Every structure is written in structure tokens, then in C-alpha cells.
Amino acid sequence: MAQRQTLVILIAVDGSPASLAAVRQAIDLSQRGLALRCVVVNVQVPPTLYEVVLAHDRERLDDVRAAAGSDLLAPAFALLAQAGIAHDHDVVGGEPAAALAEVAEACGADLVLIGARGDGSSSHALGRTALAVLEHATVPVTVVRGPEADTDTDTDRDPA
């Protein structure tokens, strides 16, 4: 009998309902019999020049961003643990789409799951980050609509 291959799925999580819908999609795939390992990633944008000048301590800023990213990942960890799904995690800095594409390549992801956070208009139906990930990724990308997808009108926030 052939051994089942474990697929690596990168899940972009920003703490939004849409990103948690992406986590639930991975759980659903697992419950349908797909052997998988999840890599849960949060992308923190780099500090602004103003923040660097004000803080005088780049390491402190990095620590704050890492802690913020870990806090945003906690609900995803809880969902995956409850489902018994093995997962790794990372908090990275940078432009979200490029950072997610880099992490996907580095971890050998077979698939990227990302939540849709667009406003439903034709230009931002999926959200800027999801669209950019679709353009940058070298593996298949599934964009998952969250529970707020029909009513979300905030286009300034994107998942990462």
C-alpha cells in the first residue's frame, strides 16, 4: 500500500475572521482525509522611520512586533490544536504578499490559504494582499471568504 503524502499548507493569519476561516478550511481538508501539516504565518509590516527614530531601539520594535504577531496567531493555534493538526508557525516582517511568498517557498508549501478581506467591489473583491499573493506565489492559492465577506467595507485593512 502506498504511503500517504503529507501536504504542507501555509495559512496567512492576521487574527481577522477571514483568516480564521482559512484555518477552518485547512481543518476541513484534514477532516476529509487529507494528510497535512500547517505552517501558520503572520506578517508584521516593518517599523516606519518615525517609529525607529522615536524608539531608538530597533530590537525593541522587533520584539513588540513579534509579540503582536504571536497574539494574532493564538486563535489559529487553538483551532488547529483542537482539531489535532500538527502546525509550525512564524512571525515575519515585510511587505505581506512578498513575505508570504518567501515563507511558502522556504517551508516547501504545497498550497497557500489566505482569507479574503475585500469590500466586494470589482477592484478589491478579494483584498489587496490576497490579490498580491495570487500574483507572487509559485504554488496554488486558495482565497477563503470569511463570515464578514458580504458586509465588510473596510479596504484599508488586509490579511497577512
DSSP states along 49-97: HHHHHHH--HHHHHHHHHHHHHHHHHHHHHHHHHHT--EEEEEEES-HH
In this predicted structure, what is the pLDDT of residue 50? 72
For residues 5-30, average pLDDT: 95
Confidence category of residue 26, pLDDT binned at 50, 70, 90: very high
In this predicted structure, what is the pLDDT of residue 48? 73
d(CA 23, CA 79): 7
Residue 80's CB: how many other CB atoms inside 10 A?
21
7-145: CATH topology is Rossmann fold (3.40.50)
Q: For the chain, which residues make up each domain, given as ranges?
A: 7-145
pLDDT at 13 exceeding the cut of 60? yes
Confidence category of residue 2, pLDDT binned at 50, 70, 90: low
In this predicted structure, what is the pLDDT of residue 3? 61
What's the mean per-residue pLDDT of the chain?
85
In this predicted structure, what is the pLDDT of residue 124? 60
For residues 143-149, average pLDDT: 77
Residue predicted with more confidence, 112 or 152: 112
Residue 50's CB: how many other CB atoms inside 10 A?
8
Has this prediction a pTM greater than 0.85? no
Q: Nearest 5°: phi and psi at 31?
A: -65, -20
For residue 154, what is its C-alpha cell? 473596510
pLDDT at 93 exceeding the cut of 60? yes
Contacts of 111 (CB under 8 A, 6+ apart): 7, 8, 9, 10, 139, 140, 141, 142
pLDDT in tens, 46-75: 877 777 667 777 778 788 888 999 999 999
Report angle CA 147, 18, 158 to the nearest 5 degrees.
Answer: 130
